Amino acid sequence: MKKTHDKSLDAAELRRRAEERLGESKTEAARSRTEEETQRLLHELQVHQVELEMQNEELRQARAEVEAGLERYTDLYDFAPVGYLTLARDGAIRQVNLTGARLLGMERSQLVNRRLGLFVSDEARPAFNAFLGKVFENNAKKVCEVALLKEGNHPLFARIEAEASEAGQDCYAVVIDITEPKRAEETLRTEREKLETVTQNMGAGLALILKDYRTIWANKVLKQIFGDVEGKVCYSTYNQRTEICPDCGVRTIFEKGSEKVVHEQEGKDLDGNTIWSEIVATSVKDKDGNITAALELVIPITERKKLEAQLRQAQKMEAIGQLAGGIAHDFNNALTLIKAYSQLTLFDLKESDPLREKIEMILEATNRSADLAHRLLAFSRRQVMEMKVLDLNNLLKDLDKMLRRVIGEDIELVNVLAEDLGRVKVDPGQVEQVVLNLALNAKDAMPRGGKLTIETANVELDETYSRTHVDVIPGRYVMLAVMDTGIGMTPEIKNRLFEPFFTTKEKGKGTGLGLAMVYGIVKQSGGNIWVYSEAGMGTTFKVYLPRVDEPLEEKKKRKLSEGELPRGGETVLAVEDNKDVRRLAAQILRRQGYRVLEAANGGEALLVCEKLKEEIHLLLTDVVMPGMSGRELAHRLSFLRPEMKILYISGYSDDSIVSYDILNEKVGFIPKPFSLEALVNQVREVLDK
């Protein structure tokens, strides 16, 4: 501007001089030269004026650009994606852009001189004020994250970056809204915590294994089983060996590229106990599809393995029981014939007959064989049981003297009987056999003496217990425990303990049927029996019998006629599928004066009853017959002949006899093999009821 002004003064001066020279010029030549100079000066003046206008235009453009720049700067400042604040040393807001005002939820004019700390919660305010103090104190850029409460208490998660001015009186703060990232981070953290909770507390072990077979991560469950396996080679901990197991699922994934491998693995836990696991190994791939690791799920299945073993044992016992029951059934038919015909033969022989002694020896052998058949039936759960409601404590008190004589003086007998013991419904004689056999087994386990404890208690077996014990139904039970301090048992012996004819005694010292009988009686009574034993640590048998809420029953003893065999003249319908046994029974009864009608099965018996008009006083029927059982026959005949009494005969029983107490005043039972006296006495007793 100064330069332009100077040029304007020079032009005026030139004009004045030119005019003076022109006026002074007196000659034409001088006037001509003056005019030329004047023209030259005027031309220079015009050039200077053009330059001046151009400079003025440039100045106007520059001013416009500055104003536009200021406007753009203001827009950038006010509408920036972050809040810009100028704060005083006490945190008061001196200046704020529109974004900052929007973030705080107030008008810009309302925010001036308001302290930023007022937007922070009472709990976080001291820490925020300390943050601002450090900004001014250290004169350096500081960063913090804080939850701000906007107008209306709407939360805002903010990242604040603050730096003091050069003068140190103010600080410049940038407020960045991180609410959404913070929420996403919180969601991610929550999901991670959930995942961590699931993986750490799931009912299975979980491990991540690299291609060098190193375990780089394992959850809590896996560490509880195998210890700290992180950093160790896969399976060296599981199997107590250093080489990789040849059937390892992880190895199959790494060497063969399998997606998933499932197999079962036997190993040792931290205490050295054998455990079983189901291993599910899954490949882990990178973005290019290359296998980089394997995720291994270790599912404990030791309890399942135990249950499978229990189930196999139960199935084996059931199969053996069916076989034993079938054998005992046929065996009893044969023994019945031998025993009864031997007795009939004795009736026809004189006292001095030399054959008499031989027949008596046959009878003695028959009785021993009958006892063997009885034990087989007890094991197979096919014997008839006369169920009574009783107090187990009373039964044990009655047995106390006998047990002390049986076990001997070198064994201490201790009874721990619950005072409030519940009642059970069992066959008293069979339960006595259970206690006696368990006591004898304990005596054999304590050859040098020891202690035998018999305990009773009320127990509740819950779902958890039933899941780990085959055939156990949750509910209320009475427990009978027989514990000894003897030599204990190995797992191999324990697994075969209840099998018939399995014994650890020397040859000729035992049949191995004692505990087999115990097993059958307990099962037939609706209960369960479990054995807890280790070699050198003694043995405990626990019998669980269902508890009932029924009144106690008196144990009735049956009295048979003595002396001469009773006679009668009533009509008896004998139904037996075994022809020889049927003929034998008919022969014995006819000998005693009875009228006997014979039928080979239920169908024939029904025809006899329909055709015969006379009264039939007694139905003598086998329990188990093909086509129609003896119980079903009796039920159908009860409509045709309601006054007819019933006597069941069998060496083998099914659930229709075992499970129901049908031995009432009109019904009797005689087991095979029966003697001549037993048959005629039972017939007379039932008819006389």
pLDDT digits (tens, 9 = 90+) for 3-15: 444 545 566 666 6
Whether 596 and 586 have beta carbons less than 8 Å apart is answered as: yes
Lowest mean pLDDT among 136-140, 146-150, 582-586: 136-140
- Residue 368's pLDDT band, with cuts at 50, 70 and 90, is low
DSSP 331-366: HHHHHHHHHHHHHHHHHHS-TT-THHHHHHHHHHHH
Whether 277 and 299 have beta carbons less than 8 Å apart is answered as: yes
- Residue 62's pLDDT band, with cuts at 50, 70 and 90, is low
Tokens of 438: 């368990």
Q: What is the pLDDT of residue 684?
A: 92
Enclosing H/E stretch for 389: strand 388-391
pLDDT digits (tens, 9 = 90+) for 75-85: 577 778 888 99
Torsion of Cα atoms, 211 then 212 then 217 then 221, to 10°: 100
Whether 385 has a pLDDT exceeding 70, the answer reads no
Q: What is the pLDDT of residue 265?
A: 79
Q: Which CATH number fits domain 571-688: 3.40.50.300, 3.30.830.10, 2.30.40.10, 3.40.50.2300?
A: 3.40.50.2300
Percent of the chain scored above 90 by pLDDT? 15
Whether 492 has a pLDDT exceeding 90, the answer reads no
Lowest mean pLDDT among 239-248, 299-308, 535-544, 656-665: 656-665
CA distance 277 to 93: 66
Q: What is the pLDDT of residue 381?
A: 47
For range 230-240, the mean pLDDT: 58
pLDDT digits (tens, 9 = 90+) for 142-199: 899 988 887 666 778 889 999 988 777 889 999 998 888 888 888 888 888 887 877 7
Q: What are phi and psi of 259, to 5 degrees?
A: -80, -40
| Closest listed residue to residue 304, CA positions, set 326, 347, 275, 345 | 275
State the burial class of residue 405 (Cβ atoms within 10 Å of its Cβ: 0-12, 13-18, 19+): exposed
Contacts of 621 (CB under 8 A, 6+ apart): 573, 574, 575, 576, 605, 630, 633, 634, 646, 647, 648, 649
DSSP 571-610: EEEEE-SSHHHHHHHHHHHHHTT-EEEEESSHHHHHHHHH
CA distance 622 to 653: 10
Q: What is the pLDDT of residue 31?
A: 60
Whether 273 has a pLDDT exceeding 50, the answer reads yes
Whether 308 has a pLDDT exceeding 90, the answer reads no
Whether 573 has a pLDDT exceeding 90, the answer reads yes
For range 251-268, the mean pLDDT: 82
Q: Which runs of consecutive H residues, i.e. helices, occur in 202-301?
A: 220-226, 236-239, 249-256
pTM tops 0.75, yes or no:
no
Whether 261 has a pLDDT exceeding 90, the answer reads no
- Residue 45's pLDDT band, with cuts at 50, 70 and 90, is confident
Mean residue pLDDT across the chain: 79
Q: What is the pLDDT of residue 297?
A: 84
**DSSP β-bridge partners for residue 572:** 596, 618
Percent of the chain scored above 70 by pLDDT? 77
- Residue 301's pLDDT band, with cuts at 50, 70 and 90, is confident
Whether 431 has a pLDDT exceeding 90, the answer reads no
CA distance 506 to 514: 15
Looking at domain 388-548, which CATH architecture does it have? Answer: 2-Layer Sandwich (3.30)
Q: What is the pLDDT of residue 5?
A: 47
Lowest mean pLDDT among 75-79, 129-133, 271-275: 75-79
For range 663-689, the mean pLDDT: 80
Q: What are phi and psi of 578, to 5 degrees?
A: -85, 115
Q: Which CATH number fits domain 202-300: 3.40.47.10, 1.10.3720.10, 2.30.30.30, 3.30.450.20?
A: 3.30.450.20
- Residue 476's pLDDT band, with cuts at 50, 70 and 90, is very high
Whether 88 and 112 have beta carbons less than 8 Å apart is answered as: no
Tokens of 321: 């029981």
Task: Provide CATH code, domain 83-183.
Answer: 3.30.450.20
In one-letter notation, the amino acid at residue 69 is G
Mean pLDDT is highest, among 57-61, 251-255, 438-442, 540-544, for 540-544
Whether 453 has a pLDDT exceeding 80, the answer reads yes
pLDDT digits (tens, 9 = 90+) for 338-360: 877 787 787 778 878 888 888 87
